[in-house]
Every structure is written in C-alpha cells, then in structure tokens.
Amino acid sequence: MEKKNVLSGIQPSGVITLGNYVGAVRNWSLLQQEDRFCYYCVANLHAITVRQDPTELKRRTRAMAAMLLACGVDPKRSALFIQSDVPEHSQLSWVLNCYTYMGELSRMTQFKDKSAKNEDNINAGLFTYPVLMAADILLYRSSFVPVGHDQKQHVEIARDIAIRFNNAFGETFVVPEPLIPNLGGRVMSLAEPTKKMSKSDPNPNAFIAFTDDQKTIMKKFKRAVTDSEGCIAYNPQTQPGVANLLSIFCIFTGKTMDEALAYFEGQGYGHLKTAVAEAVIETLTPLRLEYERYLADEVYMETILREGAKQARTLAQKTLSLVYDKVGIGI
C-alpha cells in the first residue's frame, strides 16, 4: 500500500496555545500511523512576516520543537525539522509565486487581519505567506494537512496552485486536503471570545500557553470573559464566551455537548470555569513536564532536528528538481 504523506507546521511566534494544541498539534500525533509518513516543521520563515527579536526567535524555535515532541510527535514516525534548514521551501516558493495571482492572494482573510494588526509593516512576505505555505505542503507530496479553521483558506489556495501547475505541466503535485477537527477547529480568546485565541496576542490572559503552570491556568479561566445571561447554554452567537468554555470542556473530558449541558444544569459560571480549568490542567501538566525534559536535553534535540531535516530534504530535493525540470530551469 502506498503511504499517504502528512505535512503541517507551526510558527515559533510564541508558545503553543490551547488553540494550537486542539486545533492542530494534538492531531499531528494521532495521524502518525502505519499507512502515513508525517512531516512536521517549525515554520520560522513564516514567523518573520511579523517583526521578531532575532535572539528570542532562535530560542523560541528550539523551544517549539521541544513542545512538539512533548505533544507526541514521534521522530521514528515523523520528520520533525526547522523550516529554514530545508532551503527547498524558499526555492519552490519562488516558482509557485509565478503561478499565483495577486487577486487570489488579496482575498486571504489572514492577510487582511494581520495587515490590520501590523499597519506599520504590511510587507510583501505577509502577502505571499500562502505561497510559502503551498510550497511547504506540495514539496512533501502531502495528501493531508492537519490545521485549525483559520488555515483552511491557505490549504485551499495550495490546492488551486497544485491543480493549476498540474494542468500546465502534467501530474506533478499531489492535491492536498485540509483536516480540521469539528470541535476545537477554532478555539476563541478567553479575553475577547469573538476573536480566535492566538499565541502572539499581547494580552496573556487571552490564551492558555503550553508553559502555564496549574495556578496560572486556573487564574486565566477564572478571569475568562462570559456574559450577563447567567445561564449555561451553548449559543456561540449570543454567548460566545460560555460556548467556548463548554467546547473546551468537551474536548478535554471527551463528553458530548449534551452530556456537558446536563452536567452543568443549574450551575453558575464559576463552577463551569473551575471544571474547565481542572480538565485542561490534567491534560497539559504532564505535557509541560515532558517539554521541560526535552528542552534540557540539547544533544538529543540537535540530533532529532538534524535527522529530521535530512529526511525532509531527501523528498524536498526530489520534488524541487522535478518542478525545475518541468518549468525548464533544471540543469
């Protein structure tokens, strides 16, 4: 049976949040099965589309790789690597830029959101971010891309680029599919529940970070914004804060929404917040301790990342040379 490849990445623009974990990273480990090979990268080239402190970016890149190992990325079944260690990402990205239209990039909602947040730095990299992401995916002949809901549009443009290229030059790329969880595909901010939870949010109370200890997690959930309805019901439109807490509770306890609503019947928001915090603490605490163990083992981390990049490059070089040949720039 031919193995289906999986690719995903995460920017080292902060610490993994509860949103990143349930929307994407948790599924990365679940997808590591016999019939698949997975490529997971720390997307540091994507991270510089927003200004970063260089020393901090290097530190966060390493730390992110340790977090991914702690979340279950298994180097025996996956190649874990740093995006910039595989130069073919940038090389393929340039070729794909020439097969992508300004009009389609202008429709990307993440570009609109991020330009609004970084008005003084609307750079071309922010605009062509989806093309680099298409290169990430297409280099590894990926059939599946496990991502949160906010990245769906970017996987769709990668599909469009792949189909366009295949139509022009014959079968070259595998056309990828996004894998987005039904529950947890879009976890909302604890401070402004109509916005998605983001690791680079300047307000640390808006997100649960992977490195938060038990006291901090409890404190952040207790401060979570709810509403004045005073009734625990699942109404994402009218009660987004409560709906977000209920979804997180279901994800971390395995209960269905009906079971959760029955469980909280007649209870107040204080009870809901404590119960959600306890469920999250139970899952995240052992992962945080594993992360600290990996982070301290510099030699192991170095070996894993070097091996991961080597493995990724083997396929990346093959795909790039096929593409160069097709467009007529191969040697």
213: its two tokens: 């200890």
Q: Contact 83/41 with Cβ under 8 angstroms?
A: yes
Query: Binding segment for ligand AQP among 14-22, 244-252, 264-272, 292-300 (CB under 6 A)?
Result: 14-22
Please tell me which residue in 196, 220, 222, 255 is annotated as part of the active site: 196
Report if residue 212 touches ligand AQP, rule: CB under 6 A: no
The CA distance from 223 to 273, in Å, is 9
Please say which residue, 153 or 285, places its beta carbon nearer to ligand AQP: 153
Please say which residue, 71 or 147, places its beta carbon nearer to ligand AQP: 147
Min separation Cβ 30 and ligand AQP, Å: 14
Known catalytic membership, residue 4: no
Binding residue (CB under 6 A) for ligand AQP from 148, 176, 178, 193: 148
Q: Which long-range contacts (CB under 8 A, 24 or more apart) does 238-242 make?
A: 240/188, 240/193, 240/194, 241/188, 241/190, 241/193, 242/269, 242/272
Lookup result for tokens 């239209």: 101
Min separation Cβ 289 and ligand AQP, Å: 22
Residue 104 has a CB neighbour count (10 Å cut-off) of 15
Report if residue 29 touches ligand AQP, rule: CB under 6 A: no
Report if residue 179 touches ligand AQP, rule: CB under 6 A: no
Identify the three-state secondary structure at position 278.
helix
Please say which residue, 188 or 315, places its beta carbon nearer to ligand AQP: 188
- Give the residue among 139, 85, 145 at the shortest CA–CA distance from 301: 85
Please say which residue, 117 or 271, places its beta carbon nearer to ligand AQP: 117
Known catalytic membership, residue 196: yes
Binding residue (CB under 6 A) for ligand AQP from 6, 7, 17, 308: 17
Lookup result for tokens 């107040």: 268
Report if residue 136 touches ligand AQP, rule: CB under 6 A: no
